[in-house]
Amino acid sequence: MVMIGNDADWPDWQDEKSYRHTRHLTQRGWGWEFLRRNPAFQRDLRHALEHAEFAERRFDIEVVRSSLDLTRWGLLFCKLVEA
């Protein structure tokens, strides 16, 4: 599933099968499900990605430099999936 995108990227809320993964979500998982659908968060994240500098990659860690702060959303880091 794409985190940033248009409505066509989201699962069909009327299809129960689309949300089977939610049966075992932790509180943190539920928090992410709500946060990633928040239009203000999507806007801030999109803006942060536009201004991010992907400095280096070592092993499985990618260093991202950005002057924009997403900690107001409670984020320290996250793996971003883009279309």
* DSSP 3-state of 11: coil
| Domain ranges across the chain | 15-73
CB of 41 closer than 8 Å to CB of 73: yes
Give the pLDDT confidence of 10-40 residue by residue, as tens digits.
777 788 788 788 888 899 888 888 998 899 9
21-51: b (≥16 Cβ within 10 Å) or e: eeeeeeeeeeebeebbeeeebeebbeebeee
Give the confidence band of 80 by pLDDT, cuts at 50, 70, 90: low
Segment holding 17, helix H or strand E: none
